[in-house]
Amino acid sequence: MAASLVRACFKPHSLTRLFTEIFKNTECHGAGNKFMRAKVCIECHCYHTTPVFFKRRKSREEKKKAPEFTPKPKSIIKQPVVDVWKNMTVKELSESSGRSVNDVLEAISYFDTNRYNKNTVIEDKNIIFGSVAKLGAKYKIIASPHEKNEESKDHDVVKRPPPDPSICIKRHPVVTVMGHVDHGKTTLLDSLRHTSVVASEFGGITQHIGAFNVTLDTGEKITFLDTPGHAAFSAMRARGAQATDIVVLVVAADDGVMEQTIQSIKMARDANVPIIVAINKIDKPEADIKRTQNMLAQHGIQVEALGGEVPSVNISALKGMNLKELVETIVAQAEIMDLKGDPKGHVEGVVVEVSTEIGRGKLATALIQRGTLRKGSILVCGLAWAKVRAMFDHAANPVSEAKLSDAVQIIGWRELPLVGDEIIEVEDEKRAHVVIRYRKAKENATKAVEIMEVIKQKQTEHEKVYKVQLQERRALGRYRKKKQYGDRPKEIQEDDGIPRLHVLVKGDVLGSVEAILDVFDTYGDENRCHLDVIHYGIGPVTDSDIELADAFDAIIYTFNVNSPRKIEDVAKKFRVPIHSYKVIYKLIDDIKNEICKKLPPDHVEEKIGEANVLQHFEITERKKKINVAGCRCTDGILKKDSSCRIIRNGETIYEGKVAGIKHLKTDVNSIKSGVECGLRFENPDIIVQPGDTIICYVTHEVQPSVNWDPGF
């Protein structure tokens, strides 16, 4: 009502506006003379006015004379970006942000109701980030200044000290099955875990270490390592012996102790690992258990049946005979050893095999020796590191964690580790980078020292040669020097003339590739043909492999690796041969054949006839005297134009060809055994004596053989 009254009584002026406000006031005052703002009391319905004054508008002349407008400077933030770090105090945050401690405490109160002071450590990083945002700044995470001096230096990571026995728990044993090839190691494991792995092994030969976590019918859990028994895989067997608690030595009752059996015994002794003998194939008719036990005794393995201390079980892995007794023996041996481990803390382990698979990438089979491995853990192994993305058992089933003595396949490696390297868990990726950087620097320093030694040796040899050449040049004089030595020799020397076979090797796992390269080291026929490995690796063949093989005119050998169809088409386009094998001795046989193709053919003599000289004749033919050997053929056939050799008192006095044969007075082409004849040779000056032996032979070209004994 009052507001409408005010609007009715006071019309707006052209330069003013009428503002009306309703308020509550206990005392009312009279109105002023100038009614520009009206205030209406809601109690007494009186209105009060206050004058409102407006600035007069400036004229154009005044505007021209007025100074230019300068805007107010905006407020500048002292610390637009605040450095923060882990576990910083309130005072450190205050100094880093350039704000007072009270401002920081007020910002913290929005996120934490606990009482803080300037020395309180802010443990929750989210509180630090939120407080910086409340202070109107951004944050930047840096290393703590207190640890900067320590972290600025790269350092290695090592295994933890032995654990306190009070925190250790019982763990299941790691058992390695070793022995000679085809003595039934993998068949034994098949029977224990009720699977059929041997059917997938090519030629019945285990090509690399297989790690299996087996839960037996009795409920006992055992981790088995199945090592290859082939002669080419001795290094892999040694790794299996070093990573195990118990060695089960499988010996076939029909074959007895063989070469790889002796190597396995030596490896187990070097690793100081107890041995359990499993005499296999007792179901065969030719099995001789007593003879096998005596052969073991000759190599220092005294079984219990002969009064020794080494447990021995007679089994048939194929038919499952006495396998329960073998398991009980393994469990009893593990109880005696009282195997325990630390399940907490950072993980420690060892790599038993590595590979590359399509769809899963880089894969490493690890044996856990300490701690519990979980997804997301950061691992360091040699010069490689990984953030565990996933873990699988031997059957490719995913597992959530790996406990003590478990064998698992780990995915997440940036680079493939080396087989046999130690695995150690670290706190975070930053620590992993520090460790890798330190190890690479240490390796480079070691290589630099080795290279410097080689350089010094080369330099010493060069100085010796240089001094000799310098003395020769000085002796020849100033003007004869150029004539003597001529032009500068070529820096790139020409080929030595010996053929070369270039090969490129790709395998399924690193252990198999190592075994193949070890076999290549036994090649000893370099004087006839060089064997050069231009590249090797694991995984399928790639485009870069084909380009490299094409550049070197090399052959690509794959071992247990299937090449994609697209790669095979590219290889055919470049005419690069790809030879795929799944058994190592077949691969070596193929390389031998390729080397033979590079060699010139061998010439083999075939004896066709033999004759004894009875008398020497001298005849005249066309006014020339010709020597003729009167002889009798004693073996085979003597042919015209065939090669012959005259032997006198065990020494060869002539080698040439038979120029002509006469029987009586008739020229003939051949003489049979028991017939007398006259032989004329290419060299008419050859004079034979009674009692000399003449051997006729022909020469054939045959494929050359390679002087290479790979050990199998």
Q: What is the 3-state secondary structure (H, E, C) of 174-232?
A: EEEEEECCCCCHHHHHHHHHCCCCHHHCHHHCCCCCEEEEEECCCCCEEEEEECCCCHH
**pLDDT tier at 53 (50, 70, 90 boundaries)?**
very low
Helix (H, G, I), strand (E, B) or coil at 451: helix
The backbone torsions φ and ψ at residue 590, rounded to the nearest 5 degrees and listed phi first, read -65, -40
pLDDT for 16 equals: 40
Task: Put the strands of the sheet holding 221-226 in their side by side order.
Answer: 210-215, 221-226, 174-179, 246-252, 275-280, 312-314
**pLDDT tier at 159 (50, 70, 90 boundaries)?**
confident
**Beta-ladder partners of 412:** none
How many Cβ atoms are within 10 Å of 34's Cβ, its own excluded?
A: 12
pLDDT for 163 equals: 86
**Beta-ladder partners of 580:** 558
Q: What pLDDT digit, counting tens, does each position of 220-277 carry? A: 788 888 765 434 334 544 555 567 888 889 999 988 888 888 888 888 888 788 899 9
Element (H, E) at 41: strand 37-41
Residues 151-165, mean pLDDT to the nearest whole number: 79
Residues 134-152, mean pLDDT to the nearest whole number: 75
Inter-axis angle of helices 90-97 and 125-134, nearest 10: 40
Residues 696-708, mean pLDDT to the nearest whole number: 86
Residues 605-630, mean pLDDT to the nearest whole number: 87
pLDDT for 29 equals: 46
Does this model's pTM top 0.85? My answer is no
pLDDT for 62 equals: 60
Residues 545-569, mean pLDDT to the nearest whole number: 90
> d(Cα 428, Cα 444) in Å, to the nearest integer?
25
> d(Cα 234, Cα 240) in Å, to the nearest integer?
10
Strands 643-648 and 530-538: unpaired
**pLDDT tier at 711 (50, 70, 90 boundaries)?**
low
Tell me: pLDDT of 492 over 50: no
**pLDDT tier at 56 (50, 70, 90 boundaries)?**
low
Helix (H, G, I), strand (E, B) or coil at 153: coil
Residues 395-414, mean pLDDT to the nearest whole number: 89
Helix (H, G, I), strand (E, B) or coil at 107: helix
Tell me: pLDDT of 55 over 90: no
Helix (H, G, I), strand (E, B) or coil at 515: helix
Alpha-carbon distances of 62 from 15, 57, 183, 453, rounded to whole Å:
20, 10, 114, 91
Q: Pull the structure tokens for residue 593.
A: 């054949």
- Residues of the chain with pLDDT > 90: what percent? 21
Q: Pull the structure tokens for residue 348.
A: 């420690």
pLDDT for 114 equals: 82
Task: Check if the beta carbon of residue 301 is closer than 8 Å to that of residue 277.
Answer: yes
Tell me: pLDDT of 556 over 90: yes
- Residues of the chain with pLDDT > 70: what percent? 80
**pLDDT tier at 10 (50, 70, 90 boundaries)?**
very low
* 272: Cβ contacts below 8 Å, ≥ 6 apart: none
pLDDT for 68 equals: 54
Tell me: pLDDT of 385 over 90: yes
Tell me: pLDDT of 204 over 70: no
- Comparing 21-25, 151-155, 500-504, the range with the smallest average pLDDT is 21-25
What mean pLDDT is reported for the chain? 80
pLDDT for 165 equals: 86
pLDDT for 239 equals: 54
Tell me: pLDDT of 499 over 70: yes
**Could you give the angle at the alpha carbon of 265 between the alpha carbons of 263 and 267, nearest 5°?**
70
pLDDT for 266 equals: 85
Q: What pLDDT digit, counting tens, does each position of 502-518 carry? A: 999 998 888 788 888 88
Query: Which range in 47-51, 96-100, 185-189 is most confidently predicted, on average pLDDT?
Result: 96-100
Element (H, E) at 93: helix 90-97
pLDDT for 377 equals: 93
pLDDT for 243 equals: 73
pLDDT for 271 equals: 78
Q: What's the Rg (C-alpha) of the chain? A: 47
Tell me: pLDDT of 21 over 50: no
Q: What pLDDT digit, counting tens, does each position of 480-491 carry? A: 444 444 444 444
Tell me: pLDDT of 555 over 90: yes
